[in-house]
Chain A
């Protein structure tokens, strides 16, 4: 067993699960989507991205790009939240909540692709 592989798999799956946790629930209701969950998903996603740095194989490149997509979506969701609550003073209305949650839904898709690649990679492993 390789500790590096454990940590790598852990962060990728954790990024996907946290993201899923934030995403699940009625898309318009802010009380079902806690902002701390979004923060956790973003942080773990960033860490997962950095873990994928420096792998020059084809699969490593796809890993990195899916992670970058997830980061981008989550950062966009966080900015939407910050603008709505602090800049416009609009607060977490149904419109804002649904756009934040749908952005994180996009990130969730990227994270799922990441997990699938991880599984494929493991299945292909012959040693």
Chain B
């Protein structure tokens, strides 16, 4: 506000001075020119007061006429001059003001100030998203669905404008600025007491690195999640303690390898970490045997490294890479190349170049040569989703989706990371049983994984009851708040109590105050349970089946 005001004043200096000078000339002139009275006799000129009054309404083109008396011809002559003088001065002022409002720099100052003010007044905890490309907007939309506040920094002005037009439930502060600059990060609330974390998910690796460093130095208490493509940058980020580094290529390669080695466990991870309330992903069962890998860049290397231990034999096609199979010519988009690579004996193919059209071409060609082939495609741009959906590959890798999923999973439910770690020790049958339960929770959509702490702020009613010595089990509160006969469709995944973890707690698990619960359910079920945990009357109904007197007075009376 302050700087805008002064900027406006500085620019308005010349027109205001001109206005004062012209007014002064006009008023003083009018106090010198003799007037005339009703009889046509010479009369004294206007006084300063009348002259100023006359010029004030004439200059602003209000024009009340000749007040207080009809003017003499000499006065009329001078007033003619005055009218032109003051009109020029006013037009100059107005034009300067309009030019100022249209000035790019001035508008930038205005939007920056507004953004800063809005960020400063944020009352709820928020995340700072740096970079609102494909990944960023996917995260933003998921946050918005979950009523989670966030602030967006994006370099491209057009994307910020598009963001304004998008249908967000809340009004999100967004600024077109370079997130690499520390002052921009501060402006966006890096040191705001409600800032919960920073997501560096721009397309530019160097920018992500710069953001991660800035956050580490300026506000070391909040977590930063950064996206990295090359191992060198990832190592650099790790060296100064970035909390979480997401490399989409590596992550997908791990998933693919896991899908080959233990499909049920992979399925479980996929269900729990996919974006909430989206259609349940198809079952992927990549076969073991000979595979063909087209494109041997960073993605190809990550896949090769992870698939190798699972016993898959890879034939690598890439004319650009020195360490690929050099005797094969072409990039895999032609049938000749694929036949040369031994497609007859292959069971799967990975189209993993950085060109979406080539990837589709490879997939279609391979499918024509051998329809039973398991096809994995890499989709680089969300804009091509229509094409990839139409082709319907067995397994599609979308980097932006992988990063977004992981960010959301880590940020919104820290317990989930612990759960995923613990499920590694379980066998395939355990995973299979859990997957069957999870799939039925939300009518064909993926479940929401969420956590709740039985403390004063998140579950006040339950917390109070538990502190007063009442004991009840997990199964007793997982009931429908509208009809307590019905159990809620909800799967308790993990409970944490004083550093101890209880995997898949059963219904008779006794709760205590301060327990941290990790649950999976549909979003509506989540609302239902949250209401029960927070509202004393609801909780009482769910536990005891009777409606208690709700007001303080009635409770006192009924107790006595």
A residues lining the B interface (CB < 8 Å): 35-36, 39, 43, 46-47, 50-51, 53-54, 56, 78, 81-82, 85-86
Contacts and interface: CB of A to CB of B under 8 A. Distances in A.
Nearest to A35: B48
Given A39-B27, A47-B21, A50-B17, A86 B10 contact: no
A53 B13 contact: yes
Contact of A54 (B9, B17, B21, B50): B9
Interface in B314-372: none
Contacts of B12: 53
B28 A36 contact: yes
B16 interface: yes
Given A46-B20, A47-B20, A54 B48 contact: no
Interface string B35-50: 0000000000001111
A34 B255 CA distance: 93
A53 B11 CA distance: 9
A9 to B, nearest CB: 16
A120 to B, nearest CB: 22
Contact of A50 (B13, B24, B31, B48): B13
B20 A54 contact: no
Contacts of B283: none
Nearest to A42: B24
Contact of A43 (B10, B11, B24): B24
22 contacts: A36-B28, A36-B31, A39-B48, A43-B20, A43-B24, A46-B20, A47-B17, A47-B20, A50-B13, A50-B20, A51-B13, A53-B12, A53-B13, A53-B16, A54-B7, A54-B9, A56-B3, A81-B49, A82-B48, A82-B49, A85-B49, A86-B50
A56 B48 contact: no
Chain A interface, DSSP helix/strand/loop, else mixed: helix
Contact of B10 (A36, A47, A53, A81): A53
B84 to A, nearest CB: 20
A81 B49 CA distance: 9
Interface residues of B, number: 20
Interface in B268-316: none
A56 to B, nearest CB: 6
A85 B47 CA distance: 9
B64 interface: no
Nearest to B16: A50
Given A39-B48, A82-B49, A54 B27 contact: no
Contacts of A56: 3, 6
B47 A86 contact: yes
Contacts of B24: 39, 43
B10 A54 contact: yes
A28 to B, nearest CB: 21
A59 B21 CA distance: 26
Contacts of A35: 48
A51 B20 CA distance: 12
A85 B51 CA distance: 14
A54 B6 contact: yes
A62 B87 CA distance: 33
B475 to A, nearest CB: 66
Given A53-B13, A54-B11, A56-B3, 16 more contacts: A36-B31, A39-B24, A39-B48, A43-B20, A47-B17, A50-B13, A50-B17, A51-B17, A53-B6, A53-B10, A53-B12, A54-B7, A54-B9, A78-B48, A85-B49, A86-B50
Contacts of A51: 13, 17
Contacts of B11: 54
What are the 8 tightest A-B residue pairs by CB atom distance, in nearest-first order? A54-B10, A53-B9, A82-B49, A43-B24, A50-B16, A54-B9, A86-B49, A46-B20
A62 to B, nearest CB: 15
Contacts of A43: 20-21, 24
Contacts of B21: 43, 47
Contacts of B6: 53-54, 56
Contacts of A81: 48-49
Contacts of A82: 48-49
A107 to B, nearest CB: 16
Contacts of B17: 47, 50-51
Contacts of A86: 47, 49-50
Interface in B36-84: 47-50
